[in-house]
Structures are given as C-alpha cells and as structure tokens.
Chain A
C-alpha cells in the first residue's frame, strides 16, 4: 500500500535547491524552493486572481464572481465587526488575508498532491503571526495595562493569582492550539483519504487474482464510498478550519482591542 505519510514530504523542486546553511540560533536551514513553496505560491496567486477578477469591474448589481467575492468579504467583515465591534474595520484586512490564504491553501490541497496547511511550519507561522499581532496591538493600545488581561477582576481576590496564572499559560498556548488545530485537521483528513484510497487499489489487486480474492470486491467498494464521503467532508473541513482560524483571530484581537471595556 502507498505510504500515507509520503504526501507530506518536502522536496525541493528540480534546479531550485540551494543547499543547506547553518545559521546561529535557528540551526540548519535548507534553502530551496520546495513543493510547499509552490503550493503556497499557487494559493497566493489564486487568491489575488480571485479578488482581482471579482473586484476589478465591481458593479452595483453584482455578477456571479463579484457576488462570490462579496460573500467572502461580507462574511469576514460581519465577523470582525460583530466580535471586535466598531474597530473591526481596522483589523479586517488582516483577518481577511488570513482567512483567504488558509482557505485557498486548504482547498488547493483537495486538488493537488500537496497541502501547504498540512505542514506544521506553515500553520505555526500563521499561529505565531496572529499571536504576535495580538501581543503587539495589546501593548501598543494598553501599555502595561495589557497585563490586565491576566488579572481576572471578576474572580475572588484569593483565587485571582491562580486564575491569572492559568489565563497567562492559556494565552501562551494560543499560537500552539491555533497551529495544531489546523495542522491536525489537514493531516488527519489527508491521511485518512490516502489510506482508504490505498485500500481500493490493494483490494482490487487481490480481487483481480480471482477465486477467494473476489471477496475483496465489496470491501473495495466500501472503501470507494468512504473516499467519496471523506472528500465531501474534507471540503467542508477546508472551509470550516479557515473560518475557525478567522473567528479565533477576531476573538483574540477583541481581547486586547477592547481590553477593560467589559465586552
């Protein structure tokens, strides 16, 4: 059976491998334009193409593509404004960029042999970027009041240090959970797809031998059904995880933008 993990292998594209260098602190870095870079680039280009086509001749009465673009736009816009409030417009471009990139990478993974968001390096970058932005905005807006985020005024005074400590660690874990949630969903979905698809091939091989092997046919059919169902599910997950990422980014931004406003 085909190795279900092989699809996550990072391989430099031919002619674009620039060897390895060892940097201080970071360690060994493999400089190359890999299949992961290619997938990210494709997603990036497709997002720009989609937004360009859907907004270039924007009409008051929208065409089909413009309606699709506006749906995405409106969804994230409503999200940002309903969670963050009036300041939501200011943070909309970040959340929208995040959402579109993650969504397009997830969706491309359904068509290509490689999924950028199944790379922990990619999801961790998204997670750390979001986290860093939250911390920077928090400190820029509130100064030292930012640490009030970890001081639960609603808790009894005795419990406050304990709850605050828990809050602090859960805050530190945010980039990890953001990265792992997306990574785990993409990894699991694609591994499951690969395994069931592999079953079909190997069981059909058994069936082709004839005789008792013919009993493998119904199992192969079942696997095929599973692959079809999982594919549909994965499309849903691709959208849902991008949306969840955007929602969480909004919630985390809201924490620091409206700090102390008793939102």
Chain B
C-alpha cells in the first residue's frame, strides 16, 4: 500500500492507527508493526508467548488424570472385568458339569434299556423253546398212540386175512370134491381134495 508523500503518517495508538489506515489508505509505522506482530507467521499457533502456559497447564492436567486412571478408574474396571470373566467361566464350568452328568444319565438309561431288551429277548426265546418242546412231546405221544392203534389194526387185519385164507382153502377143497363128485360120480376124500387144492395153489 503506497503512502501519499504529502502528509507524514501520524503516530497513533494501535487501534486508532488501524482505523486510520482503513480510512485513509495510509499505513502508520506502528500499525504495520502491530499487524506484523499479530500475524507473525500467519498462524496464531506460532505465537510462542502462549506455548509455555498451555504446555505447563496440559502437563498438570495430564498428571492428575494419569494418577486418577492408574489408581481409581483402571483398577475399578479391571476388577469388574475380571469378576465378569470369573462369573462367565464358572457358569460355563457348571454348564459343562451338568452336561456331562446328563450325558452319563442318558448312557445309564440307554444301558438299562439294552438290558431290558436283552432280558425280554431271552424270556421270549425260553418261552418259545419250552412251547416247542411241549409240542414235540405231545406230538411224540400222539404218534405213539396212533402207531399202537395202527399196529393193533394191522394185527386184526392179518388175523382176519389168515382166517379168510383158511376158509378159502376149505371152500376150495369142498368145491373141488363137489365138482369131482358131479363129474365122476365118486367123491374123493377130503385129504385128496386138500392135497389137490394145495398142489394147484
């Protein structure tokens, strides 16, 4: 900004100097200096006169918070987290033991069932064997009775047949004597007729 050479810039306090500069376009010497001081380096972060105060204050806050975290907050949370881990692990252990117990009971029940089944099977087999033996015995008995009756019947048949055969021989000799008598007019003796019948037979 070019200062007009006609009037030398007056020396004013900073605020008035800035206003003056804005109104007239002149930059008073001390205003420029103030602006330079204010905007040194552009960023307010590089105004180093504020650094020490912030740094020291932050370190104090940090130290207090560190002590609080280390002595109060972290132990509290750690305790509760450990407690929770313990609770969870004990609950899991309990659940596991209950589960094994249940499994054991299930196994026992299964074994009982198997045993009962085997018993039933054995009973059934025994009953079957007994019944079969009974049937066999009764059958044998019946068979024996039947066989005896058959033998008896056969004996009777044989006797009847033998009787019949005896009669048949005498009938044949009688018939022979009658035929011979009619043919020859002379009756053979019974002995002759018998011999002839036997010889023809």
Contacts and interface: CB of A to CB of B under 8 A. Distances in A.
**Real complex partners, A and B?**
yes
Interface of A: 5, 8-10, 20, 23, 26-32, 34, 36-37, 40-41, 44, 47-48, 51-52, 55, 58-60, 62, 66, 69-70, 73-74, 92-94, 96-98, 100-101, 118-122, 124-126, 129, 183, 187
A46 B83 CA distance: 27
A30 B49 CA distance: 5
A37 B45 contact: no
Contacts, number: 117
Interface of B: 42-55, 57-59, 61-62, 64-66, 68-70, 72-74, 76-77, 79-81, 83-84, 87
A7 B56 CA distance: 22
B57 A8 contact: no
Contact of B62 (A97, A118, A187): A97
Contact of B74 (A34, A48, A93, A183): A93
A73 B74 contact: yes
13 contacts: A9-B44, A10-B44, A10-B50, A10-B54, A20-B49, A37-B53, A37-B57, A40-B54, A41-B61, A52-B73, A60-B84, A70-B80, A120-B46
Contacts of A31: 53
A21 B65 CA distance: 29
A229 B164 CA distance: 137
Contact of A187 (B45, B50, B66): B45
Given A120-B46, A122-B58, A125-B55, 11 more contacts: A28-B48, A29-B49, A29-B52, A29-B53, A70-B81, A93-B66, A97-B69, A119-B54, A121-B54, A122-B54, A129-B59
Contact of A27 (B44, B48, B65): B48
Contact of B65 (A5, A92, A101, A124): A101
